[in-house]
């Protein structure tokens, strides 16, 4: 899939405008503060309903704007077109539309357009809290499996029910009903995640050999439950009650990266951590691609991390395998449609 058109209003500093993109490479350049990252952010919000910069939607609203609207037209390899729209106002919150139909939940909307995000100095995935890695993984699996999106959505609904039980004087029967449903869903979720992880892991190893050839990088999945989940839930009730939430389950798993067999977050240099973060995003895009979903690469100034050889490697890879959006103060010396971005105005040049 590739993003052919975008229309914006009320989003950050970006003017109201309509844009047409190239199927392969789009290069955004211009002065600091012009709006390059804002444009990448708008595309990410259109694809997943959420920003890579903030969890507060109100921050994305233009200073003087009553609401924002991001609308896009995407085309598939089979020339099918998709129209999507994200709307936000402080009173109405966010609304998602796909081909004119409103989608009620972000988790169900996210991933209709398979976007992979590469940010400058993005070490959050390495040193940040587990919630970020889980969101990354859930988005990644969700991109190639609608069923997974439904399962996660349903699991969180049931989890909220159990958490509510923990806060009052509930009976074993009440717990039993929800826990059984949780265990059913969790088994399905772990199964699908496991399948995804196998492919993702091998792409990660392949990409890390290409971009960090001097080091051995490895991924390790950290599962919060190793015994039978239903039994673990039942045994955990008393402790969970004290914490007022469910401590075990697919919503608590994590993963880590090992650099030469040691945790990267503790022993890796900043440069190695940044490269590993890029490798995660690359592996994610590769996995989407091998599942038949051509990725859209959003890259914000990442060449600043790389030497010329790796930069060329990355550009070639992205524009050969999917659609690239690349932002930097100076346009790189590669082919593509160029856009000059200044004071919120994006002009093809
Ligand atoms: N909610 C908002 N409403 C209006 N303007 C905003 C909002 N949030 C941020 N801005 C403005 O957007 C500009 C930053 O845009 P952006 O981060 O996209 O710049 P950039 O082109 O990526 O710059 P750089 O090259 O420095 O990374 C700033 O001038 C900032 O004040
Ligand atoms: Mg920027």
Q: How far is CA 297 from CA 43, 107, 251, in A?
A: 10, 21, 27
Q: Which ligand is nearest to the CA of 14?
A: 1
For residue 195, the CA-to-ligand 2 centroid distance in Å is: 35
Report the nearest atom of ligand 1 relative to the CA of 28: 21
Q: Quick one: pLDDT at residue 124?
A: 85
Cβ(315)–Cβ(25) under 8 Å?
yes
Give yes or no for residue 121 having a pLDDT over 80.
no
Q: Mind listing the pLDDT tens digit for each residue in 147-190?
A: 999 999 999 999 999 999 999 999 999 999 999 999 999 999 99
Going by C-alpha positions, the residue among 150, 122, 156, 154 that lies closest to residue 136 is: 122
Distance CA 96, CA 114 (A): 16
Residues having CB within 6 Å of any atom of ligand 1: 12-13, 32-38, 59-63, 329, 341
Give the pLDDT band (50/70/90) at residue 295. very high
Q: Which ligand is nearest to the CA of 33?
A: 1
| Structural domains of the chain in order of their starting residue, each with its CATH number | 1-114+294-349 (3.40.50.300), 123-293 (1.20.1050.90)
Supply the residue whose CA is at minimum distance from atom 27 of ligand 1. Answer: 32
For residue 246, the CA-to-ligand 2 centroid distance in Å is: 39
Distance CA 6, CA 41 (A): 13
Supply the residue whose CA is at minimum distance from atom 12 of ligand 1. Answer: 13
* pTM more than 0.85: yes
Going by C-alpha positions, the residue among 80, 16, 75 that lies closest to residue 42 is: 16
Supply the residue whose CA is at minimum distance from atom 28 of ligand 1. Answer: 33
For residue 198, the CA-to-ligand 2 centroid distance in Å is: 34
Report the nearest atom of ligand 1 relative to the CA of 62: 3
Exposure class string for 48-59: b at 16+ Cβ within 10 A, else e: bbbbbbeeebee
The average pLDDT across 244-256 equals 96
Residues in the chain: 349
Give the pLDDT band (50/70/90) at residue 342. very high
The average pLDDT across 112-124 equals 88
Q: Quick one: pLDDT at residue 255?
A: 97
Supply the residue whose CA is at minimum distance from atom 18 of ligand 1. Answer: 35
Give the pLDDT band (50/70/90) at residue 309. confident
| Region of residue 114 (phi > 0: left; psi between -120 and 50: alpha; otherwise: beta) | beta
Going by C-alpha positions, the residue among 118, 86, 84, 97 that lies closest to residue 5 is: 84
Distance CA 48, CA 36 (A): 19
Report the nearest atom of ligand 1 relative to the CA of 30: 21
């Amino acid at each position: 899939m590739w993003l052919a058109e975008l229309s914006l209003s009320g989003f950050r500093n970006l003017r109201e405008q309509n844009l047409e993109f190239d199927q392969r490479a789009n290069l955004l350049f211009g002065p600091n503060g012009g709006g390059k990252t804002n444009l990448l952010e708008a595309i990410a919000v259109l694809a997943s309903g959420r920003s890579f910069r903030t969890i507060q939607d109100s921050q994305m609203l233009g200073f003087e704007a009553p609401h924002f609207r991001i609308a896009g037209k995407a085309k598939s390899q089979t020339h099918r077109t998709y129209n999507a729209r994200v709307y936000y106002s402080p009173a109405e919150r966010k609304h998602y539309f796909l081909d004119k139909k409103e989608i009620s939940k972000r988790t169900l909307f996210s991933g209709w357009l398979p976007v992979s995000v590469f940010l400058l100095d993005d070490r959050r995935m390495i040193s940040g809290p587990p919630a970020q890695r889980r969101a990354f993984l859930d988005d990644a699996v969700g991109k190639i499996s609608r069923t997974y999106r439904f399962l996660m959505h349903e699991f969180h609904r049931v989890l909220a029910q159990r958490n509510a039980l923990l806060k009052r004087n509930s009976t074993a029967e009440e717990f039993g009903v929800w826990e059984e449903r949780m265990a059913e869903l969790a088994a399905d979720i772990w199964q699908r995640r496991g399948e995804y992880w196998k492919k993702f892991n091998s792409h990660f190893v392949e990409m890390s050999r290409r971009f960090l050839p001097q080091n051995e990088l490895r991924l390790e999945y950290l599962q919060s439950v190793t015994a039978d989940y239903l039994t673990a839930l039942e045994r955990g009730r008393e402790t969970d009650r004290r914490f007022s939430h469910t401590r075990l389950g697919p919503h608590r798993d994590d993963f880590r990266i090992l650099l030469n067999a040691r945790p990267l977050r503790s022993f890796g240099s900043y440069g190695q951590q940044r490269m590993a973060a890029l490798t995660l995003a690359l592996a994610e895009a590769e996995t989407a691609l091998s599942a038949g979903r051509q990725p859209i690469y959003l890259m914000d100034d990442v060449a600043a991390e790389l030497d010329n050889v790796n930069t060329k490697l990355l550009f070639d890879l992205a524009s050969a395998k999917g659609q690239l959006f690349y932002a930097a103060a100076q346009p790189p010396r590669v082919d593509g449609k160029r856009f000059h971005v200044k004071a919120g105005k994006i002009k093809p040049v």
